[in-house]
Amino acid sequence: MKDCNYGWNASDHITVSNANLYKLIRTMDADTSNANSLDFAGLSAMGTGSANLDCMSSEASGNSGVRLGWGCGCYTNADFTATGSGQFILQAIGDSSATTAMAPGMTGASSFIFIADWTSGSTFTIPDYSTTAN
């Protein structure tokens, strides 16, 4: 399965403006017909205020695992920016490996979870959360 935005909209995929409460969820998981595969990558962001989640492309393909925010070629636009207050959670589970641009140089992990909170009055930014799990 591929989820690509080429030629359509490269930015501002999910935008929230001045919300009292929001929750954004984006996931990609392995082929459910393969009961032996654990491959999963997902994010959730919740909070108050404004938010912009970009996820230009994602894909899941059999034995190649899953990609969140990266895939369908070489293009990556996987960022998140928010004001107000809230929480961002990124997690991945792979059969043998899980990586993210949020932790460059991280090796040997088969799963991870990152949780970040931000408080009112600040701007929270993740420049690249692209994630793979295989």
Length of the chain: 134
Structure tokens at 67: 């990609």
Sequence spans of domains, the chain? 2-133
pTM for the structure as a whole: 0.86
Segment holding 6, helix H or strand E: none
Higher pLDDT, 112 or 78: 112
Q: Please give the torsion angle defined by the CA atoms of residues 36, 95, 132 and 69, in that order, rounded to the nearest 10 degrees.
A: 30
What is the rounded distance in angstroms from the CA atom of residue 27 to the CA atom of residue 92? Answer: 10
pLDDT tens readout for residues 30-84: 766 666 678 999 999 999 999 998 887 777 776 678 888 876 666 678 899 999 9
